[in-house]
Structure 1
Amino acid sequence: MSKDKKRTRRRSPLQGALRQLRQLGEGLAQFLVLGFCWLLPVDWASGLGGWVARTVGSRLSVNRRAMKHLAIAFPEMTEAEKRRITVGMWDNFGRMVAEYPHLGTIADPASGRVEVVNAHLPDKVRDAGRPFIVFSAHMANFELMPIVSNKHGHNMTVVSRPVNNPYIQRILLFFRERPTGDWGKIPKGVDGARHAMKLLQQGLNLGVLVDQRNSQGVALPLFGQPARTNLGIAKLAIDYDAPLFPAHLERLGGARFRLTVEDQLKRPDLGDKQAESVAIMTEVNQVLERWIRQRPEDWLWLHRRWDRP
């Protein structure tokens, strides 16, 4: 690309100022919303967030994307059932946003709000001084998982894509980190992959949400349709002999949850790293599909998991 074309793509000072002003306004709105929810009791905040989101969300144009994705996953499903699930999805999303200021309260074992099943499964790996990788999905209030892990004695560094607005990012980090200090986070991308390797080399654990589409990924089946899937965590698990544990978070009603740690996935012995990675991630997609079928309202159907229909 010529230097002239590069210059034309640069923002003018006015465009930059307007962008900053817009981001500041969005950040202020986020601050006011979460600040108000912080003043409310946990259940009131969660209920209000769910009511607002399910009332407004199903009327937004983006809701059509969720309906299309439901049609891909469940082609036999009626329109009425798909609408019911999207309403439940918006309810969960609104509750998750309103619960942000209360993450520490909800995750506190003394609150009894998060039932943890099989929390002992990674203990042997930890006690042996080995790292492990936990994978999960954007289900229920997924922001709780690293905090719950910390409160049960496991360090957990998560792969987290920062939001585009730096003001909103600072607000979210404040509420994420307040319950435990800095529980650790690394960005997605090449730099994040290097950081993840260093962490595993140091014997630290990694948490990854694996249910989003990756344009550079391998097409593997999900609900019978090809879904581009990143092989990264499978290759890390192989390279560092790190067990892979599935962790399923469910919303049981209101601001109450169940987190189930499942048995580690078995590593296939195929004699080829690429083939083994594909086999592992094929099983990971099968686990995701099982979770989503059990609780479709808990999953964020707005993500473009498949190529455009």
Structure 2
Amino acid sequence: MTGWAHKHRPWRKALRSLRHAVEGLAQFLLLGIFWLLPVDWASNLGGWLTRQIGSRLAVSRRAMEHLAIAFPEMPEAERRRIVAGMWENLGRMIAEYPHLGAIADPASGRIEVAGAERLAAVRNRGKAFIVISAHMANFELMPIAAYKHGHNMTVVSRPVNNPIIQRILLFFRQRPTGDWGKIPKGVSGARQAVKLLQQGQNLGVLVDQRVSQGVPLPLFGRPARTNLGIARLALDHDVEVFPAHLERLGGARFRLTVEEPLARPALEDRQEAAKAMMTEVNRILERWIRRRPEDWLWLHRRWDRP
């Protein structure tokens, strides 16, 4: 480290801490306002605000580029409509954060659940399972909904960069369930995942993000770096993997569909079997996205730059 960098390091840390505090205060105030509002009012307000603002942000160009990759024949006007819908969904999700427990409560009638018996059958056999999903609709509801239906669910996730915001988000995530299970992404998280599966604990993973060390597998006809870790876990530990699709039906109402478990490829080579399984996962993701493109977070850089 140079003398200049060493001398100014405390200032950089202080500025970063100040930025985190300001961002955390803004997040606290915003979610506090939504917390005071009824669920539908909060969801509608959040969706309206981000629909007005989001489409005007420069980052929306990335969403338009990704839509062009997935749907090259789609008219630009339709892509813009989808991007606006994506921003509305994202705003609704933020505004629904303080109400996650109320929305996921089966008594509320806000989440239709189909295929829940598939998970119950595995639980009744005393086996663990893995649920895979995507950044669609309000994906934060899924582990809470699982808890409300009697399933333990440890989520693989990466904490946000701002530790104050992370604590705020965890407060609202954990209020309905207590201190729910969560493990980090990466090597350490993979070791913890193996241990949890061996203990009969279930895992929930969002599998639609680009992984720099992933294997290129097709998604919308173009290679997308895909993590094989979930497939390897399932194959090595004889665990069933259930795709679960969450759809926004309108406002703060949803449908959660637990689909049939992934088939196990009849391949002896472990690497090829994992690639075949995750290729099928990408096909499932593509089907979900085609059905509800506004529900997906198109801002993620899923494909490598050309």
Please state which band the TM-score falls in when normalised by the shorter chain.
over 0.9
Are 2:82 and 1:78 aligned?
A: no
Counterpart in 2 of 1:57? 54
Are 2:142 and 1:145 aligned?
A: yes
Counterpart in 1 of 2:172? 175
Question: Percent identity over the alignment?
Answer: 74
Q: Distance in 2 between matches of 1:122 and 1:9?
A: 54
Q: Distance in 1 between matches of 2:264 and 2:219?
A: 20
| Number of corresponding residues | 306
1:161-190, Cα deviation, whole Å (9 max, x unpaired) = 100000000000000000010221111111
Pair 132,10 (structure 1): closer, same or farther in 2 beyond 3 Å: farther
1:252 pairs with one of 249, 256, 264: 249
Counterpart in 2 of 1:308? 305
Counterpart of 1:96 in structure 2: which amino acid?
M
Counterpart in 2 of 1:241? 238
The Cα of 1:12 is off from its aligned counterpart by 1.3
Counterpart in 2 of 1:68? 65
Match runs of 1:1-309 below 5 Å: 4=1, 8=5, 12-309=9-306
Q: Distance in 2 between matches of 1:28 and 1:11?
A: 26
CA RMSD, 1 decimal: 1.2
The Cα of 1:10 is off from its aligned counterpart by 8.7
Pair 89,9 (structure 1): closer, same or farther in 2 beyond 3 Å: farther
SS in structure 1 of the partner of residue 297 of structure 2? coil
Counterpart of 1:104 in structure 2: which amino acid?
G
The Cα of 1:8 is off from its aligned counterpart by 3.8
Q: Distance in 2 between matches of 1:10 and 1:56?
A: 40
Q: Distance in 2 between matches of 1:208 and 1:7?
A: 43
The Cα of 1:228 is off from its aligned counterpart by 0.1
Q: Distance in 1 between matches of 2:16 and 2:304?
A: 30
The Cα of 1:127 is off from its aligned counterpart by 1.3
SS in structure 1 of the partner of residue 245 of structure 2? strand
Q: Distance in 1 between matches of 2:7 and 2:222?
A: 40
Query: What runs of 5+ residues in structure 2 fail to find an aligned partner?
Result: none
Calculate the TM-score normalised by the size of structure 1: 0.97
Query: What runs of 5+ residues in structure 1 fail to find an aligned partner?
Result: none
Q: Distance in 2 between matches of 1:193 and 1:9?
A: 35
Counterpart of 1:261 in structure 2: which amino acid?
V
